Structure 1
Amino acid sequence: MKDKEFVTWESIRVKGKLRFFFVNGLLLYGLPMCIITAYSNKLFENGFTLKAVLGHVTIWSMAGLMFGVVMWYITERRYKKEVTFRENSKQ
């Protein structure tokens, strides 16, 4: 992990998991994917129905949350390895 990534992750983790899940999962992944797939799959070609919207939004919201959770734990694991490495290299 590079120094810039390390410092950035330290500031992100202070803000908490839930904020990360919401911002990085829902807003930065789930929402764009929801919009992109709605247009690329022509989801509303046969009309703009509430059922289609709710189904699509629900799926991509859950996918966004899953993405956020997975990314949190992957990055947290990398961060902890780096902390251990830096502590051992100081000795």
Structure 2
Amino acid sequence: MSTDTDAKREATFARWEQIRERGPLRFILLRGVLGWGVTTAVLWCALMALFTEKDWVQLMTVALVGFPGGGVVWGTVMWFVGERKFARTPR
């Protein structure tokens, strides 16, 4: 059982090394802004338009400003969490 765990740990470690090589800005933009921010903005806007009588264009404008900003924060936090795990991983 420990070999499965070790293999998973090594795969995660190797994947994070590849992500690190590309740098934090790319990670934050792709995972935070696009992956979390824009996706959440579109889903929130669709749900708000469905369940309220607000203007879809106004909702989308607000969502595409606010949620990607939150994505920057989320991506930055996740970068530092990943770096912390990377530093603590025994090699």
Q: How far apart, in 2, do the equivalents of 1:59 and 1:3 lie?
A: 37
Query: Mind listing any 5+ residue stretches in structure 2 that lack a counterpart?
Result: 1-7
Superposed displacement of residue 49, structure 1: 4.1
Q: How far apart, in 2, do the equivalents of 1:46 and 1:69 lie?
A: 32
User: Residues 67 and 28 from structure 1, CA distance in 2 versus in 1: closer, same or farther, beyond 3 angstroms?
Assistant: same
**What is the DSSP-based 3-state SS (H/G/I as helix, E as strand, rest coil) of the residue aligned with 2:55?**
coil
* Superposition misfits of 4+ residues, deviation over 4 angstroms: none
Identity %: 27
Superposed displacement of residue 74, structure 1: 0.3
Output one character per residue of 1:38-70: Cα deviation in whole Å (capped at 9) or x when no partner.
0112288433445x4332211101111111001
Amino acid of the structure 2 residue aligned with 1:77: R
Count of residues in correspondence between the two structures:
83
Output one character per residue of 1:11-44: Cα deviation in whole Å (capped at 9) or x when no partner.
0001001000000001111111001000112288
Q: If each structure's helix is expressed as a fraction of its own residues, which one has the higher value?
A: 2
Residue 65 of structure 1: which of 57, 72, 88 is its match? Answer: 72
Amino acid of the structure 1 residue aligned with 2:16: W
Query: Mind listing any 5+ residue stretches in structure 1 that lack a counterpart?
Result: 87-91
Residue 47 of structure 1: which of 32, 42, 55 is its match? Answer: 55
Residue 82 of structure 2: which of 75, 78, 85 is its match? Answer: 75
TM-score normalised by length of structure 1: 0.80
Q: How far apart, in 2, do the equivalents of 1:26 and 1:45 lie?
A: 27
Q: Which structure has the higher relative contact order (CA within 8 Å, separation 6+)?
A: 1
TM-score normalised by length of structure 2: 0.80
Superposed displacement of residue 80, structure 1: 0.5
**Residue matched to 1:89:** none
Amino acid of the structure 2 residue aligned with 1:46: K
